[in-house]
Amino acid sequence: MTEGSQIVVPPSFVALFVPSGRVRPVETATVIEQRYELCEDFAQMLLGQAQTRQWEWGITREDVLQRVAQGLQGSDVFSADEAQWVLMRLEELLSC
């Protein structure tokens, strides 16, 4: 996204920074990349824990995602949109 960066930020994440009725993000490419890295890393970190809990507790993927969603509510690290994106990304990773 930014010059010299090899990070490819997916459109679904960039969209979090484009308010309704606008076409351009309200944050800089650098900020969006940093936030994306944080969210992607967190989703990847949650993957192992989610798989372990699903196996240990014998619960469904939906149950795991619901518990993660509850944990992300009111986060002071992620915005509500970012938390939703992390959850969506975790769901994708669990489906692989």
Q: Residue type for 77, please?
A: V
Average pLDDT over residues 82-94: 97
Report yes or no: 29 and 4 within 8 Å, Cβ to Cβ. no
Give the pLDDT score at 95.
93
> If residue 87 lies in a helix (H) or strand (E), which one and from where to where?
helix 80-95
Residue 94 CB: number of other CB atoms within 10 A? 18
The residue whose two tokens read 């989703």 is 43
Interatomic CA distance for residues 32 and 26, integer angstroms: 10
pLDDT digits (tens, 9 = 90+) for 17-66: 999 999 999 999 999 999 999 999 999 999 999 999 999 999 999 999 99
Angle between helices 29-57 and 80-95 (to 10 degrees): 50
Report yes or no: 94 and 52 within 8 Å, Cβ to Cβ. no
Q: Is the pLDDT of residue 1 over 70?
A: no
Give the residue extent of every domain in the chain.
11-95
Q: Residue type for 27, please?
A: E
Report how far apart the first and last C-alpha atoms of the chain are (Å, whole number).
Answer: 26
Q: Is the pLDDT of residue 82 over 70?
A: yes
